[in-house]
Amino acid sequence: MGNVKIYLHNYLLTMIITDLPYFGSISFFQEITQTENICFDNNAPFSKMSFKNRMVIASAQGPLHLTMPIIGGRDQKTPLNQVLISYDTPWRAQHLKAIISSYKRSPYFDYYQASLETLYESKPDNLIDFLINCHIWIQQQLKGKWEIHSISSFNELDFLKWKRVFHKYLPKNYDKIENPIKYQQVFEDKVGFVPNLSILDLLFCVGGRQANEILKTH
């Protein structure tokens, strides 16, 4: 019984609880790839100017912010698992077009285009469902080994043992990151290197296997 308690204690110490972003920045996945167990705080209120419905990719003109519209607007405090996606505008086609335009010449984009297009063809009502799909897609491309857990699987005392990750890098300051991961970007010769973009940028530029190694060792 003592060994079981020690195992459970050590297991809970490896758990982190964090927000679930739209694909997520490189710094976000640095944290995730070095973690064994993760739990997304889907009950946290939606917050504007966060990565919950926004990501930043590279373009020939510089960083490009892509924002997913939600019903009720960005000022609401609705729990994330109750936020609904708005389809009043063709944002899925617009985001996919922007991604293809930016990365069609990147070394590894062709490997991921078909499955990425399938992802954007889906039309879930809830924001959380689309975000989970995006996260799982990235995990598959990176061959990530972390496990995703549900809050409902644990009692409230477990939260005291978890590491709560607050990401200080948001859409307003994502490029101010200290000691960023560097690699060859598509438009680096035109606009210079832009740090801490969406994980998509790293994936398309270096490929899933190398991206995983970089994230784990940097």
**Is residue 208 predicted with pLDDT exceeding 90?**
yes
Contact 69, 54 (CB under 8 A): no
The rounded mean pLDDT for the chain is 87
Mean local confidence (pLDDT), 180-198: 96
Burial grade of 137 (CB within 10 A; 0-12, 13-18, 19 or more): middle
| Amino acid in position 170 | L
> Residue 146's domain spans which residues?
2-217
Contact 214, 183 (CB under 8 A): yes
Give the strand pairing for 163-164 and 147-149.
Answer: unpaired
Q: Give the HSE-up count for residue 163: Cα atoms under 13 Å, Cβ half-sphere.
A: 15
Mean local confidence (pLDDT), 163-182: 81
Under the banding of pLDDT at 50, 70 and 90, the label for residue 5 is very low
Residue carrying the six token digits 């710094």: 27
Q: What integer pLDDT is reported at residue 10 of this predicted model?
A: 47
Under the banding of pLDDT at 50, 70 and 90, the label for residue 21 is very high
Under the banding of pLDDT at 50, 70 and 90, the label for residue 154 is low
For the whole model, what pTM was predicted? 0.88
Cα torsion angle, 170, 90, 106, 136, sign: positive
| Number of separate domains in the chain | 1
3-state secondary structure of 110: helix
